[in-house]
Amino acid sequence: MDRIPILRMGKFLLVTIQIDLYDRLATNLETDLVQMVSKTGARGVLIDISALSIVDSFMGRILGNIGSMSKIMDAETVVVGMQPAVAITLIELGLELKGVHTALNVEKGMELLTTKIGSYEDEELEEDEISPE
Amino acid sequence: MKIDIARLLQKKRSQILENWMTNQLADAGLREDLMSNDDLREQSDELLTNFLNIISDKNIGDSQSSDFEPVYEILSGISMSRARQGYSPRETGVYVFSLKDALLRTLQTELKDDPGAMIEAVLKINRLMDSMGIITFETFIKGREEVILRQTDEITEISTPVIRVWDGILALPIIGTLDSARTQVVMESLLQEIVESGSTIAILDISGVPAVDSLVAQHLIKTVAATRLMGAECIISGIRPEIAQTVVHLGIDLSNIVTKASLASALRYAYSLLRLEVKKVQNKHLL
């Protein structure tokens, strides 16, 4: 069965979708990714869809699902490199991908994830500092 | 004895052409600036020759006959090109109806001894020329409409320029009413430019939009949402007081979109997002 590889890089998981997703592949990705998040304790998920040229409502929903699922497992999701046509299609379908962050490219997506998680960790750190007093 | 009108006219071809040209040249509205007299003569000659070659005793009474299609085609071509060149409908009309005049005058002189045959011939020619006139006008208007359509396309094309204001900041001034088709163009060109330039902030300036109704607002919200999906931030600027009034009265919720009153304040906001600062230089010699 075809699977999309999920790469682990430090606190983040990287997914690059290089082929057009069919429904089975997308549901597999959803399951794999959530399991991977739980297994590795990843804090951020970056999905690169720059090679994806066709998207339907199912695909849009899967992306939204991944975002929401990761969110409740304490990981931020960033979708990067969306094609203009894909963006227009998703909007026309009424899918705004709430709960998913977006960035132009992998570099900016990584930056976004780092700041998101970094700021959160700073807060934790501050709390830790304050609590002993 | 029955007179063959078609053959009669064919024999008198050069005379008819002369008469027609005289009629056309005599018209006060002749547009020598658009077409030289030689070109006009050539054009007229082509049409007349074709017309006279096709006309026969059989089809002369039937303007719908398929025999006339080549003539109608030539006529359509002439009419279409005149529409594009900027001839007025009257000038184009005069062109065809002066041919009718020339034909009738020839019939009048040739058949003056036989009033019965003359009336019959005149009626037939009249009907033929009238249908030619109608075709001329139909294609003339079609030609004009094509010109208008092309101009509309051009306006849509040029009226949505995406400007790179700063490294990473795009601005898109929208001028004129936003309809679905235009929004599509605006959205596509904006998203395309975001990808090409790698910009993270887009400013939609709507100070040139005369009125905002719920549909226009819907389009704007869509554009903003699509930009966000791409991973860029979209700011709407140029909200005039009247627009603010209508938007609130219509109950449109723009609260989750960043809106600014002017392009300047939108740009200032964009700078702050990119952590940029504009400073006044203290020492003017530095310039």
What pLDDT, in 10s, does the model give residues B153-162? 887 777 778 8
**Which fold would CATH assign to domain B5-151?**
Globin-like (1.10.490)
Residue extents of the structural domains in chain B = 5-151, 163-273
Per-residue pLDDT, B235: 92
Higher-confidence residue: B2 or B5? B5
CB contact under 8 A, A104 and B232: yes
Higher-confidence residue: A81 or A125? A81
B10 and chain A in contact, CB less than 8 A: no
Tell me if A57 is assigned to some domain.
yes
User: B163-273 in CATH: which number?
Assistant: 3.30.750.24
Tell me: the pLDDT tens digits for A95-126? 888 878 999 989 989 988 888 887 666 655 55
CB contact under 8 A, A88 and B191: yes
Is it the case that residue B287 has pLDDT exceeding 50?
A: yes
Tell me if A93 is assigned to some domain.
yes
Is it the case that residue B171 has pLDDT exceeding 60?
A: yes
Is it the case that residue A129 has pLDDT exceeding 60?
A: no
Mean pLDDT computed over every residue of chain A: 84
Tell me: the pLDDT tens digits for B10-61? 888 888 888 888 888 877 666 667 777 788 888 888 888 888 888 777 777 7
The CATH code of the domain that includes A27 is 3.30.750.24
Closest approach of B195 to chain A, Cα-based (Å): 7
Q: B200 to chain A: nearest residue by CA? A: A104
Tell me if A55 is assigned to some domain.
yes
Closest approach of B225 to chain A, Cα-based (Å): 7
> Which residues in chain A have their CB less than 8 angstroms from residue B232's CB?
104
CB contact under 8 A, B200 and A84: no
Q: How many domains does chain A have?
A: 1
> Which residues in chain B have their CB less than 8 angstroms from residue A80's CB?
231
Domain that holds residue A86: 6-130
Is it the case that residue B202 has pLDDT exceeding 90?
A: yes
Of B184, B191, B229, the CB nearest to A102: B229
SS3 assignment for chain B = CCCCHHHHHHHCHHHHHHHHHHHHHHCCCCCCCCCCHHHHHHHHHHHHHHHHHHCCCCCCCCCCCHHHHHHHHHHHHHHHHHHHHCCCHHHHHHHHHHHHHHHHHHHHHHCCCCHHHHHHHHHHHHHHHHHHHHHHHHHHHHHHHHHHHHHHHHHHHHCCCCEEEECCEEEEEEECCCCHHHHHHHHHHHHHHHHHHCCCEEEEEEEECCCCCHHHHHHHHHHHHHHHHHCCEEEEECCCHHHHHHHHHCCCCCCCCEECCCHHHHHHHHHHHCCCCCCCCCCHHHC
Is it the case that residue A127 has pLDDT exceeding 60?
A: no
B186 and chain A in contact, CB less than 8 A: no
Chain A neighbours among B 224-263 (CB < 8 Å)?
A: 225-232
Is it the case that residue A133 has pLDDT exceeding 50?
A: no
Tell me if A45 is assigned to some domain.
yes
Q: A49 to chain B: nearest residue by CA? A: B230
Tell me if A1 is assigned to some domain.
no
Tell me if A67 is assigned to some domain.
yes
Q: Is residue B114 very low, low, confident or very high in pLDDT (cuts 50, 70, 90)?
A: confident
Is it the case that residue B269 has pLDDT exceeding 90?
A: yes
B274 and chain A in contact, CB less than 8 A: no
Please give the biggest Cα pair distance in chain A: 56
The question of ipTM being above 0.85 is answered as no
